[in-house]
Structure 1
Amino acid sequence: MTDLVHRIWALLVLGGMFGPGVRHVTGIDIYTPKEVEALNGTNVKLKCTFSSSHPVSVTSVSVSWNFRPLSSGKDEPVFYYQDVPYPPTEGRFKGHAVWSGDIMKRDVSITLHEVPPTFNGTYICQVRNPPDVHGSNGEIILKVVNKASFSEIAILAAAGGAACALILVLLGIAVAVKYYKRKGRSPDIEMHPPEDMWKDSTVCYPEEAVRLTVKKKKDSKFR
């Protein structure tokens, strides 16, 4: 009996703890690609979006971008946003990181300009929208390469091949049309002689020659 009372009491206490008046803390969800590849010296966009169960405004959301080098070590600040963008004023990302997001669209992306190989590493996107302050961060691995990957080369090759094929098809159609036009003219010429030929009164056709011969024979009989 005593054990039963203790269990009921414990349930009542737990019910009171999680009953009305207690605010449940919800997490914020962040979405990023796992890996991004960029050519040395080009610009690359680091895409980061989020969702929050609380209303979003330009003044309520804060964003932090940090960089972790391949050799591990200490994280470096890349970009910060709160009310307005705060690009870096020193360090390796000075003059390279710019804001590309839109808070009201839940987009907190940034763009890195003219990326060098020293930008290889992991970029961490952290978003806070109080009271939504809990949740995992987004992480992107950036690979700066000196030439396009095989997939990019394959895409370019496929595009070039398609263009060549289209040109060949158009040339083939043009040659076929020209050939059939010429072929269609020759029987027309045979069936319809030139006007100067059939209008000439001196031309005698075989049918007319027969008629003339018969007429001459009849004339001689009557004589």
Structure 2
Amino acid sequence: MRRLCQRNPALDVVLLLCSVSFLAPSSVSSISVMTPPELHASRGETVTLSCTFTSTSRPTSKMTVDWSYRPQSGGPPQTFFHFSSSSFPPLEGQFMGRIKWQGSPARGEASISLINATLKDNGTYTCSVRNPPDVHGSPNSHTVLSVTPKAPSVRFSDVAVLLAFILLPSAVITLILIGRMLCPKKQRNQSKGYRSPIEVTEGEEYGIHPPAGKAKKTSCCDLYLMVQYRTLLHQTIQSMNN
């Protein structure tokens, strides 16, 4: 009778270990979520908030993804995006109409895109993934987004105006000089260029003056310069309109 009441210490240790291992969460059933620590973007760009996860269980319809945002100025995080079998983008607030789902649960992707980033979007973004029964491990990951003003760039219209006011006059002068070189004016005959005061032409002695010369006709060189000028002016105006 006394022998039956005695307890084996080794048996007690085994029973205790079994109890602890049964009650403790399994280290095999765990999930791990990963995001880049920092992201940088310029104002107006579309930035991808990357989030990947690994799970020991295959993603099912019970898997959920939540994205929350905490402003740079501080304050509690606010959930603005939810995924559960389908995406639920924000219907109000600063992210309304600017969030696009880029995830693929079968490939371990839970990323989203932020369209038209602004300076107000600076802050900390948290990606949370739940895939029952994998609820332990590291289901959350944080990334800090920094949006900076976009560097000023020269617009095409400014370049067109600059070309119109600087290059156009230079081109016109160049065309005129080329035209004069290609089409020189006829020089007057030196014998007729100078007349002695005592020289009298026929008819002048009787007070009769020769008929006035006809209006000067437009030469081919003048037409060439006019065509080149109009073509250059038309191209400049068209480039400014575009």
Shorter-chain TM range is 0.5 to 0.7
Which ranges in structure 1 are unaligned for 5 or more consecutive residues? 149-223
Which of residues 29, 33, 38 in structure 1 aligns to 2:36?
33
Instruction: Tell me the equivalent position of 1:205.
Output: none
Q: Which amino acid is the alignment partner of residue 81 of structure 1?
A: F
Change (3 A) 1:9 1:121: same
Instruction: Tell me the equivalent position of 1:77.
Output: 79
- Counterparts of 1:183-202 in structure 2, within 5 Å, are none
Contact 1:100 1:110 in 2 (8 A): yes
Q: Distance in 1 between matches of 2:122 and 2:21?
A: 49
Q: Per-residue deviation at 1:88?
A: 0.5
SS of residue matched to 1:50: strand
Deviations 1:36-76 (A, max 9, x none): 0011011100010100001123x131000000111221111
Contact 1:78 1:97 in 2 (8 A): no
1:122 aligns with 2:124: yes
Instruction: Tell me the equivalent position of 1:52.
Output: 55
Pairwise CA RMSD: 2.2
Q: Per-residue deviation at 1:15?
A: 2.7
Q: Distance in 2 between matches of 1:67 and 1:19?
A: 37
Contact 1:28 1:51 in 2 (8 A): yes
Q: Per-residue deviation at 1:27?
A: 2.0
Q: Distance in 1 between matches of 2:115 and 2:24?
A: 47
Q: Distance in 2 between matches of 1:10 and 1:71?
A: 56
SS of residue matched to 1:11: helix
Change (3 A) 1:110 1:19: closer
Which of residues 129, 139, 142 in structure 1 aligns to 2:142?
139
Instruction: Tell me the equivalent position of 2:109.
Output: 107
Change (3 A) 1:135 1:42: same
Change (3 A) 1:19 1:109: closer
Q: Which amino acid is the alignment partner of residue 132 of structure 2?
A: P
TM (norm. structure 2) is: 0.54
Instruction: Tell me the equivalent position of 2:208.
Output: none
Q: Which amino acid is the alignment partner of residue 128 of structure 2?
A: Q
Which ranges in structure 2 are unaligned for 5 or more consecutive residues? 1-6, 152-242
Deviations 1:196-217 (A, max 9, x none): xxxxxxxxxxxxxxxxxxxxxx
- Counterparts of 1:166-205 in structure 2, within 5 Å, are none
Deviations 1:69-115 (A, max 9, x none): 11221111221000100000111111111101111111000000001
Q: Distance in 1 between matches of 2:150 and 2:36?
A: 21
Change (3 A) 1:109 1:7: same
1:16 aligns with 2:18: yes
Deviations 1:111-158 (A, max 9, x none): 00001101000000000000111233111100001146xxxxxxxxxx
Contact 1:35 1:140 in 2 (8 A): yes
Q: Distance in 1 between matches of 2:79 and 2:25?
A: 33
